[in-house]
Amino acid sequence: MPRFVSNDPQKEAKNYGYGGSLSFAGCNALRTTMVGQHHSIASHSQRWKLFCDWAKIQDIKEARQIKSHTLNRYSDYLRARLKGQGKPLAVSTAQNRLSTCNTVLKALRGNSDISIKPAEALQAQRHHSRTQAPEMSREKLAAVQQILCHQGHERIAAVLGLCRELGLRSREAALLDCNHALEQARILGKVDIERGTKGGRGKSTVTSPSRVERWVPISESTIKALKTAAAQQKHNDNLVPESKRLPDFLCSVRHYSGSVLKQQGLTHRHDLRAAYACERYQEITGVAAPVIRAFRRQCPRIVDHNARKVISLELGHNRLGVMVSYIGGLR
């Protein structure tokens, strides 16, 4: 896709030729360099606009004005927010905003000469170690699914089952082609997660033709969940009803499942992924996850590290540090 074109040579050079305003130029650059990654483009665009609002106050209106010290000043502003100055801000949100600046500036400039390391700049830890074990009972989840089915929300019940048995996010579960997954499970004994992944992970794109495959092992309970979901999917290639858009269906999943989960002692959908992670940890190491064993390490450190690495990839993460929010940390 060509850059923004203008008849004015001076305006052509503004914002590296991607548009007249800083906000529009950043969004336009993302659409040009991240073809097909619609969810990522939307997320980055939203966070980039927040940076542009801050930049405008600093009298920065053009991409060429942004230097390394600009990002350092922005990180100072975000760090102050983390310490309680102004509207409260989560560490993950602050890191995401800085990460977006890196992504957009790379798209605008065509290089990574101006960037910042979010974790170092903010001097704050993103991940909170899980201190309470997730509910592992499949019987309680089955009770949740039964209630949802009785209310006419069979597809939502199927989404929850996939989240628990494959460790998927709601978006990934909703977009999974269960018929194809069943075929993979039958032939290969594992399922490749391609759709709905964060940051375009799991699928090939024009800008990233080679992708990292995300294989998730299957079990009897996995097959059962896939068959249940496939029955709801019917001849379609995902669980999203034909009458609904994906965002609307995901909103329905949140709305209708939340209260029923809590009613049955399942705090949140994220606990379904945590339950998957804890179960996989025990399968790999032979001992219970740290959060279940009161944080006492029951296996050699190298075995624990390797288990975290395997599960992290199965959950669709590239960072081992995130595993503490699923299976707990080590003392």
Domain positions in the chain: 9-122, 138-278
Q: How confident is the model at residue 314 (pLDDT cuts 50, 70, 90)?
A: very high
So what's the pLDDT on residue 232? 95
Per-residue confidence at 205, pLDDT binned at 50, 70, 90? very low
Q: Could you tell me the CA-to-CA distances from 265 to 104, 135, 138, 256, 259 in Å, in that order?
A: 42, 8, 12, 15, 10
Tell me what the mean pLDDT of segment 269-287 comes to.
Answer: 93
161 Rama sector, left if φ>0, alpha if ψ -120 to 50, beta otherwise? alpha
Span 276-296, mean pLDDT?
Answer: 88
Write down the pLDDT at residue 63: 94
CATH code, residues 9-122: 1.10.150
197: pLDDT strictly greater than 90: no
Query: Residue 174's pLDDT is what?
Result: 96
Query: 37: which residues sit within 8 A by CB, 6+ positions away?
Result: 199, 200, 205
Segment 277-285 shows an average pLDDT of 95
In this predicted structure, what is the pLDDT of residue 203? 54
Give me the pLDDT at residue 127, please.
57
Beta-carbon contacts of residue 216 (< 8 Å; ≥ 6 apart): 166, 167, 190, 191, 192, 193, 314
Q: Tell me the pLDDT band of 39, cut-offs 50, 70 and 90.
A: confident
Residue 1 is predicted with a pLDDT of: 41
Check residues 322 and 107 and name the one with the higher pLDDT: 107
Q: Give the model's pLDDT for residue 208.
A: 46
Q: What is the pLDDT of residue 319?
A: 76
- Average confidence (pLDDT) over 38-66: 92
Asked whether residue 105 carries a pLDDT value surpassing 60, the answer given is yes
The residues, any chain, with a CB within 8 Å of residue 203's CB and separated by 6 or more, are 194, 195, 197, 211
Mean pLDDT for 60-85 is 92
Which whole number is the average pLDDT over 283-305?
A: 84
Question: pLDDT of 146-189, one tens digit each?
Answer: 999 999 999 999 999 999 999 999 999 999 999 999 999 999 99
Residue 142: the pLDDT is 95
Average pLDDT over every residue of 297-301: 79
Q: What is the pLDDT of residue 295?
A: 54
First-to-final CA distance of the chain: 51
For residue 91, pLDDT beyond 50: yes
With beta carbons less than 8 A apart as the criterion, state whether 170 and 253 touch: yes
Quickly state the pLDDT bin for 193 (edges 50, 70, 90): very high
Structure confidence at residue 304 (pLDDT):
92
pLDDT in tens, 240-268: 999 999 989 999 999 999 999 988 888 88
Q: Amino acid identity, residue 156? A: I
Least confident of 111-115, 153-157, 194-198: 194-198
- pLDDT the model gives residue 9: 44
With beta carbons less than 8 A apart as the criterion, state whether 227 and 181 touch: no
Q: What is the mean pLDDT of the chain?
A: 87
Cα 136 from Cα 224, distance rounded (Å):
17
Would you identify the CATH topology of the domain 138-278?
hpI Integrase; Chain A (1.10.443)
Residue of higher predicted confidence among 222 and 295: 222
Q: What is the pLDDT of residue 178?
A: 96
Which pLDDT score, from 0 to 100, does residue 125 have? 63
